[in-house]
Chain A
């Protein structure tokens, strides 16, 4: 008897779950997953500030519907990220899930989102798996595929005539992608590589000793967030700074610069967006962000700003009919909005085909350290995994 009641209850519940959402919703619901606690909370905050700024710029309405955002903290942990994502899908019934700093968190969270046919817009992480075999019609990136930026750095090292390099990065999905990226384009000799325990290991004395012994022409490093500060610190303390030039990806940004200070001077990096890119959308974004938060936005923020604008373009194109998922997808594939990086296209796997720039650290008029564009390293770069993605359009 009891069993039968339970089954009946379950049946009723499943009917409710299967019922289609009402044709016209009252609002656009967006779930935003990022890191809002711990040492990397500064990144999450910067993403939230930029996302909110984008919403302000569009009057907090998309296609005539008010926008509601639910922020969730993934604590930089894949298990927590997945749990929060499932909550957004199952109990909040969001129309879009946006965010994700960390590739390992995104990889853990992808399936529940795309299985429920909800759009996921990654505003940072770009693991190679999602560009390749795991690509999905419900996934879009407003950032890059992880390998693209280090590929640009590899290109730049070729241009500089670097003969040998030592690679160091953290041992997780993105770290492996970054080192693979350098290997794909760099033509010189790779004399050594180290993947360090992530995110626990913050003392790099062992690795720096190995670098000193290997005597490379240059060192390539990828350490996002606070770890980038620690690495530059220890690089200077070990006496390697000034002896062996450092090349970076995602290690020096406007969030880590206030801590890295002069240690970041003269250390080149590659980036698809720099705060001084001369397009109208970017000028407005950077100026309004600085007026509101008294600091430069980071690339994490720029990508989140773009994510809001991409979602806006999709919802506007279907005039707020959020059930028209094909319509929204077709619109997003055009990248038909004013991106702060300038115009770009989407590849078949929904990753951007875009330029990468060389960035350098300089002092602005008020004496603050900031990043500036020096040159274009590669034009219209497409990731190397798109051919493994079966999606065609």
Chain B
């Protein structure tokens, strides 16, 4: 029972990280109608910034905060320089343009940081595990990720639903021309939204950095999962991204944790050990396929475009 609980925490943590990436992606896709394949690169940039700033300041939290700010800036700059010329063009042009950015960022990172990858050491107070229940201890750092991501999700909700800026974002999403005609500075709004999306991806990357090594192309796996999430959740819907991300995180983790044991009931132990990881990584896509058949607009579709 405790193992199930622990695996649920693992799933929740994975889901929340994916939510941060997917939230930015869905904002940019839903509001700006922009397919951004370079979103994974911003995740990677966040992680590399974290590695640099943590080593530079010697303090994990301060370094992470600097990395968050730096990714926000990179995102806004990127929007002004490279993304703006792509608005109003075909989705295929977006895909080609932003795929070019993926290659550009990978090469840039290789030139600046080298090919070997970096490690972000955790401070001692995060590098332990705490006892949640008798017999259930859990890594402190993963708890920190869960708490941070939940806080960010809450802030994002307040920002979008309760503030004037959020109102403008929602207005821009539902009718871009009308919002522009009413005097909203759509250009500036887009730069802010893109920067916000970039910063969220960067936050996910920098939080993941101490768990994984920081390496070139680390954002590409995450990007695919993020696309799956926004399709399940409904494009443009932050609430949908939240629910879908946690769903995906739980399905992936629970599948990996318990499928081998379930399969062992019907096949040999070795066979089960081989089939289970393949099957559990398929389950997410299975869910996506079912959602696409039953509810093509996603679980929480945005009302109108």
The answer to whether A233 and B257 touch across the interface, beta carbons within 8 angstroms, is: no
A196-233: which residues lie under 8 A (CB-CB) from chain B? 196-197, 200-203, 205-207, 209-210, 212-213, 226, 229-230, 233
- CB–CB A259/B128 < 8 A: no
A239 touches B129 (CB 8 A): yes
Answer whether residue A14 sits at the interface, using C-beta atoms and an 8 A cutoff.
no
In the complex, A324→B211 CA distance in Å? 53
- A234: B residues at CB distance < 8 A: 211
| Distance A260 CA – B121 CA, assembled complex (angstroms) | 10
Residues of A230-265 at the interface with B, using a CB-CB cut-off of 8 Å, are 230, 233-234, 236-239, 258-261
B154 vs chain A, min Cβ distance (A): 24
CB distance B217 to A205 under 8 Å?
no
Most buried by B among A41, A209, A212, A226: A209
B59 at the interface (CB under 8 A from A): no
**Chain A residues within an 8 Å CB radius of B257:** 206, 209-210
Indicate whether A389 reaches chain B with its CB closer than 8 angstroms: no
Q: Which of B3-11, B23-31, B177-185 contacts A (4 or more CB under 8 A)?
A: B3-11
Check A238 against B129 for contact (C-beta < 8 Å). yes
User: Does A42 sit at the interface, judged by CB under 8 A?
Assistant: yes
Verify if A22 is at the interface (C-beta below 8 Å from B): no
Q: Interface size (A, Cβ < 8 Å)?
A: 36
**Within the assembled complex, what's the spacing in Å between the Cα atoms of A392 and B7?**
52
A3 to B278, CA, bound (A): 47
Contacts of B211 in A (CB 8 A): 203, 230, 233-234, 237
The residue in chain B whose Cβ has the minimal distance to the Cβ of A241 is B127
Q: Mark A33-52, 1 if CB is under 8 A from B, else 0.
A: 00000110110010000000
Say if the beta carbon of A171 comes within 8 Å of chain B. Answer: yes
B277 touching A237 by the CB < 8 A rule? no
Q: Nearest-CB distance from A192 to chain B (Å)?
A: 9
A237-B141 in contact (CB<8A): yes
CB neighbours (8 Å) of B117 from chain A are: 39, 42, 226, 229, 259
**8 Å CB contacts to B: which residues of A304-354?**
none
Known: A200-B281, A203-B212. A176 touches B274 (CB 8 A): yes
Q: Are A197 and B141 in contact (CB under 8 A)?
A: no
Known A-B contacts A203-B211, A213-B3, A233-B211; the reply to A197 vs B273 at CB < 8 A is no
Chain B residue at minimum C-beta to C-beta distance from A203: B211
Known A-B contacts A197-B281, A213-B2, A238-B139; the reply to A205 vs B253 at CB < 8 A is yes
- A255's nearest neighbour on chain B, judged by CB, is B116
A94–chain B nearest beta-carbon distance, Å: 26
Cα–Cα, bound, A333→B137 (Å): 55
Is B278 a contact of A230 with CB atoms below 8 Å?
Answer: no
Task: Flag if A42 contacts B122 (CB, 8 Å).
Answer: no
Contacts of B260 in A (CB 8 A): 194
Within 8 A of A (CB), among B104-141: 115-119, 122, 127-129, 137, 139-141
B134 to chain A, nearest CB (A): 14
**For the complex, is B13 an interface residue (Cβ under 8 Å from A)?**
yes
A189 to nearest B CB, angstroms? 14
CB contacts (< 8 Å) of B6 on chain A: these are 209, 212-213
Contacts A206-B253, A213-B2, A259-B117; A226 near B213 (Cβ below 8 A): yes
The reply to whether B273 and A193 form a contact with Cβ atoms under 8 Å apart is yes
Contact of B256 among A39, A41, A206, A258 (CB under 8 A): A206
Say which residue of B115, B127, B217 sits within 8 Å of A42 (CB atoms): B115
| Chain B 254-305 interface residues, beta-carbon cutoff 8 Å to A | 256-257, 260, 273-274, 276-278, 280-281
- How many Å from the CB of B136 to the closest CB on chain A? 9
Set of chain A residues within 8 Å of B215, measured between Cβ atoms: 39, 226
Q: How far is the CB of A17 from chain B (nearest CB, A)?
A: 37
A213 to B136, CA, bound (A): 9
Indicate if the CB atoms of A210 and B3 lie closer than 8 Å: yes
Q: B14 at interface (Cβ–Cβ under 8 A)?
A: yes
Residue in B closest to A170 when the chains form the complex, CB atoms: B277
Cβ-defined partner of B142 (8 Å) among A201, A205, A207, A212: A205
Q: Which of these, B3, B128, B210, B218, contacts A233 with CB under 8 Å? A: B210
The answer to whether A38 touches B142, judged by C-beta atoms less than 8 angstroms apart, is no
Task: Select B119's contact among A207, A229, A237, beta carbons within 8 Å.
Answer: A229
How far is A207 from B7 in the complex, measured between Cα atoms in Å?
9
Q: Is the CB of B141 within 8 A of A206?
A: no
Quote the shortest CB–CB distance from B253 to chain A (angstroms).
5
Tell whether A11 is near chain B: CB-to-CB under 8 Å: no
The proximity string for B residues 206-230 relative to A, scoring 1 for CB distances below 8 Å and 0 otherwise, is 0000111101111001000000000
Whether the pair B119, A206 counts as a contact (CB closer than 8 A) is no
- Closest A residue to B224 by CB, please name it: A200
Q: Which residues of A contact B256 (CB under 8 A)?
A: 196, 206-207
Please name all residues of chain A whose beta carbon is closer than 8 Å to the beta carbon of B115 when the two chains form the complex. Answer: 41-42, 45
* Selected A-B contacts with CB under 8 Å, 7 pairs: A39-B216, A42-B117, A197-B281, A206-B253, A229-B119, A237-B211, A259-B118
Q: Which 4 residue pairs spanning A and B have beta carbons closest together?
A: A239-B129, A205-B10, A39-B215, A213-B3
Known contacts A41-B115, A259-B116; 18 further A-B pairs (Cβ under 8 A): A38-B217, A39-B117, A196-B256, A196-B277, A200-B281, A206-B7, A209-B7, A209-B10, A209-B257, A210-B3, A213-B2, A226-B213, A229-B119, A234-B211, A239-B128, A239-B139, A259-B118, A260-B119
